[in-house]
C-alpha cells in the first residue's frame, strides 16, 4: 500500500471515529473532527503530513502526494 492510500484510510477512520465519539460520548469531540479537517487542508497546501511520516517509517512505499 502506498503512503497516499494509507493516509486516506487513516484520515477516513479518524473521521468516522470522531463522529462516533460525538454521537455516543460528547459533542466536544467535534474539536477532534475539526483538528482532522484542518490537518488535511494544511497538508494539501504544504505537503507536510505527520501521518505520512509515520507510514513512511512503517515501510509503506512512497506515493505521489507525500514525498
| Vertex 47 angle, CA 57 and 6, to 5° | 45
Q: Write the pLDDT tens digit of every residue in 5-59.
A: 999 999 999 999 999 999 999 999 999 999 999 999 999 999 899 999 999 999 9
Count other C-beta atoms under 10 Å from residue 50's C-beta: 10
Q: Produce one character per residue of 3-12: b if its CB has 16 or more CB atoms within 10 Å, e if not.
A: bbebbeebbe
Pull the grid cell for residue 1.
Answer: 500500500
Answer for the pair 7, 52: CB distance below 8 angstroms, yes or no: yes
Entry pTM: 0.85
Amino acid at each position: 500500500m502506498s503512503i497516499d492510500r494509507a493516509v486516506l484510510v487513516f484520515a477516513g477512520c479518524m473521521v468516522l471515529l470522531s463522529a462516533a465519539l460525538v454521537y455516543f460520548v460528547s459533542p466536544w469531540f467535534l474539536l477532534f473532527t475539526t483538528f482532522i479537517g484542518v490537518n488535511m487542508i494544511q497538508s494539501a497546501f504544504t505537503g507536510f503530513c505527520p501521518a505520512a511520516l509515520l507510514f513512511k517509517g512503517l515501510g509503506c512505499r512512497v506515493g505521489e502526494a507525500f514525498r
